[in-house]
A = this chain, B = another copy of it.
Amino acid sequence: MTRERLYLFDTTLRDGAQTAGIDFSVEEKIVIAELLDRLGVDYVEGGYPGANPTDTAFFEAKRTTAATFTAFGMTKRAGRSAANDPGLQMVLGSAAEAVCLVAKSWDYHVRVALGCTNEENLESIRDSVEAVVASGREAMIDCEHFFDGYKANPDYALTCAKTAYEAGARWVVLCDTNGGTLPSEVMEIVGKVTAHVPGAHLGIHAHDDTGHAVANSLAAVAAGVRQIQGTLNGIGERCGNANLITLVPTLMLKSPYKDRFELGVSAEALADITPISRAFDEIINRSPDRHAPYVGENAFATKAGIHASAILKEPETYEHVPPETVGNRRRVLVSDQAGKSNLIGELARLGIAVDKADPRLDTLLADVKEREAQGYAYEAADASFELLARRRLGEVPRYFDVHSFRVMVERRFNAIGELVTVSEAVVKIDIDGETHMSVGEGNGPVNALDTALRKDLGRFQSVIDEMELTDFKVRILNGGTDAVTRVLIESYNKRTHKRWFTIGVSGNIVDASFQALIDSHTYTLLKAGL
């Protein structure tokens, strides 16, 4: 049986950017677009060129390799032509390959929010779609408030959808903008729409205000739509958008979807979806949801006393899908076996071959477990993991020993009466038995420590000069008085163009930063073959 193609439209960078507390920079958008290409979505909606300087800059170039690079915009205003609508012209002047325009489809909002007539709104839809098509781009219309609009005035909502389709829109997307529609209603209303616009040209855009964004997306597919809009980890305004990270595994692993449909996501990308989800959380500096379907750290974890022994007998009968198909792993709290083979796999990936019977493996495993219990997260810090492993296997030279450091941050008035904040660090290290003591200043304590550390590194100086710190992330792991701080530092080698992450954990943020800093310096020296 031939499977039908189902299209994924990601709006993390546009509707996801409406999430309270989220504010993407151009650089972050570029990295997220790469993640989306890695997953294999069909469309990446990158933002609204012209609406703000970030989105305008992001759309100066095509930012995807596989996915169709899509701009968001609005249909032209009533009373002016598409050619004279500056907003629409900004979108058409961008590097987008496809354009998704939002249009009103609830007559009430046409009157209240747009202040124009129903017929003028239809004309805006028609003219705007035609302008997008004439520019050589794929055109889509997001029918805003479609379900509420349909309930209030089905004829007008349908006419909006039909108008867009007949004007040449590749996709007409039915949006549950307020997020209050339930699956049974979605199924019923989409069923009615397919009598007017073919399902192969319909999309669904669901929000999670009743916890049904995923269920509504699947209900719409069951009723005929062939495009799903959603976001990474379900970010989005209010309660979020449909979570593509949940939808993709269900569509690929569960009947009837896996038998009826085909996505642009490969089985290999599916097996990478847990790392993709976690990488995205790192970018937005959010703790991954440990209970997230498929990708959460606890998604395949069992604490159950009454189940534990049975699970060990036949784990697969207690799991709805095999965890490895989604790049996750089983965690049964009584077993170490998974840990060890896991570890060997990780080491192999780093090019470290160890015999399964090597007793140092058990030491390393115990070490990793103990440190992860303290708050280290090695999956986010490859370089620190590699250092830890190679150290246990005796492969890392002691390039230098740190005696002590001291950092001072002071806010005071300077000689000309300005309030200034200064950071100063002193670092004392031993290299080849000789003590080096250096002092440095910086914007903040970590920068001052780095400046001091790299000031006098003797014979390592030229190698360290190739490396620079490019990012720094801090997360507090427990609240209150016993808070533990985890610091992740991203470093970059200007000569080799490699990037790596190191980690430090401590009750003291400066101490945690220093650990990550030292790991990064050590890793630089190790990779230089010293």
Contacts and interface: CB of A to CB of B under 8 A. Distances in A.
Interface string A59-88: 000000000000000100000000000000
Interface residues of A, number: 116
B240 A51 contact: no
Contacts of A209: 293-294, 299, 320
A178 B443 contact: no
A348 to B, nearest CB: 19
Say how many copies of this protein the assembly contains. Answer: 2
A183 B183 contact: yes
A174 B222 CA distance: 25
Contacts of A320: 178-181, 209-210
A494 interface: no
A159 interface: no
Interface in A250-300: 250, 254, 256, 285, 287, 290-294, 296, 298-300
Contact of A470 (B321, B402, B479): B479
Nearest to A313: B112
A20 B404 contact: no
Nearest to A375: B23
A409 B407 contact: yes
Interface in A91-112: 102, 108-109, 112
A293 B475 contact: no
A23 B254 contact: no
A409 B406 contact: yes
28 contacts: A20-B301, A20-B333, A25-B477, A27-B479, A180-B254, A181-B320, A182-B254, A183-B215, A184-B222, A209-B299, A210-B249, A212-B215, A237-B303, A238-B298, A238-B301, A285-B475, A404-B413, A407-B410, A408-B408, A409-B508, A443-B507, A444-B510, A445-B508, A445-B509, A445-B510, A473-B474, A473-B476, A509-B509
Interface of A: 18-21, 23, 25, 27, 51-52, 74, 102, 108-109, 112-113, 148, 177-184, 208-212, 214-215, 218-219, 222, 237-240, 243, 246, 249-250, 254, 256, 285, 287, 290-294, 296, 298-306, 310, 313-314, 317-321, 333, 336-337, 377, 379-380, 402-413, 421, 423, 443-446, 468, 470-481, 483, 485, 490, 506-511, 514
